[in-house]
Amino acid sequence: MNKVFPKKWLGQHFLTDTGAAERITLLLPPDVKNVLEIGPGTGVLTQHLLNRNINLKLIEIDGESVSYLKNTFPQAQNLIIEADFLKTDLNGLFTENYTIIGNFPYNISSQILFRMLEYKYKITGLTGMFQKEVAERICAGKGNKSYGILSVLIQAFYNTELIFSLTPEAFSPPPKVNSAVIRLTRKDNYTINCDERTFFRLVKKAFNQRRKKLRNALHEYRFSENAPAVFFQKRAEELSVDDFITLTNALVKE
Ligand code: SAH
């Protein structure tokens, strides 16, 4: 019997491959101080994190998992926040910078990543499991078929590494998709040399019609001559992060 009734709507697929669980926690930098685990569930990652000399906090939305964790790991009692990660004030959790870890609920993957970007001034990294397809999108380079909005927006601020993949049998209940573990590490200089909101909007627009050349995909925008003309003959997937920054700076009017 499962320790906690698995709730599909909360993306609950508990990792049963204990070797993989330990491996994920070992991906945290050795000198890390403040760590937030999203969705600890029944604690397969948490048990390893509790053995480390770190300042740990756990956010879990599911009351049943929270009770299970509190009973099984008394030392975690005061570390657990029963809340929705998407509605939690990410600034108030730690006074200092912190890093995120988790086997993330796949139904809210993009929202987790966009929140990380919003709070990037405090979040120095993120390690954990996503649906493999999403993990590939995050880490893909220019020209790759997975290269898209997530790749550009995340890689503007974080270095990305695709570490290893797992098949559905590593989980209970097994998800319908493969999974992969990634590690994001904030860049030393994580300010971009253009207006951030405009950059986000432009990247999204460019990829929304990813098969079209930018001349068409971005026809609503006006650019100065600082925008290299060759860009407009290309598709979004052929532009690097720096190219998108150049384009943002050349924007005259939306
Ligand atoms: N880390 C565990 C569980 C992974 S399943 C393991 O590896 O086995 C994903 C977990 O995220 C579940 O425990 C689920 O309840 C939790 N979760 C889902 N949505 C959440 C949200 N919005 N905020 C916090 N936790 C959430």
Q: Could you read off the pLDDT of 41-61 as tens digits, one per residue?
A: 999 999 999 999 999 999 999
For 117, which DSSP code? H
Dihedral class, residue 199 (left if φ above 0, else alpha if ψ from -120 to 50, else beta): alpha
If 0-12 CB within 10 Å is exposed, 13-18 middle and 19+ buried, where does residue 1 land?
A: exposed
Q: Could you tell me the distance, in angstroms and rounded to a whole number, from the CA of residue 189 to the centre of ligand 1?
A: 31
Q: Bridge partners of 161?
A: 183
Containing 129, the helix (H) or strand (E) segment is strand 123-131
Given a cut of 70, whether residue 1 has pLDDT beyond it is: no
Q: Which atom of ligand 1 is nearest to the CA of 13?
A: 5
Q: Residues enclosing ligand 1, CB less than 6 A? A: 10-15, 38-42, 44-45, 59-62, 65, 84-86, 102-103, 105, 108
Span 196-253 CATH architecture: Orthogonal Bundle (1.10)
Ligand 1: nearest atom to the Cα of 41: 13
Atom 19 of ligand 1: nearest residue by CA position? 10
Summary mean pLDDT of the chain: 96
In the structure, what pLDDT confidence band is assigned to residue 3 with cuts at 50, 70 and 90?
confident
- The reported pLDDT for the residue numbered 92 is 94
Over pLDDT 90: what percentage of the chain? 97
Helix (H, G, I), strand (E, B) or coil at 134: helix
Predicted confidence at residue 197, as pLDDT, reads 96
Higher local confidence (pLDDT), 3 or 165: 165
pLDDT tens-place string over residues 98-124: 999 999 999 999 999 999 999 999 999
pLDDT at 2: 61
* Closest residue by Cα to residue 141 from 120, 161, 111: 161
- Superfamily of domain 8-186 in CATH is Vaccinia Virus protein VP39 (3.40.50.150)
pLDDT digits (tens, 9 = 90+) for 175-214: 999 999 999 999 999 999 999 999 999 999 999 998 999 9
- CA pseudo-torsion sign 93, 155, 134, 183: negative
Phi, psi angle pair for 184, to nearest 5°? -110, 135
Q: Whose CA is nearest to atom 22 of ligand 1?
A: 84
Contact 172, 16 (CB under 8 A): yes
Residue 240 has pLDDT above 50, yes or no: yes
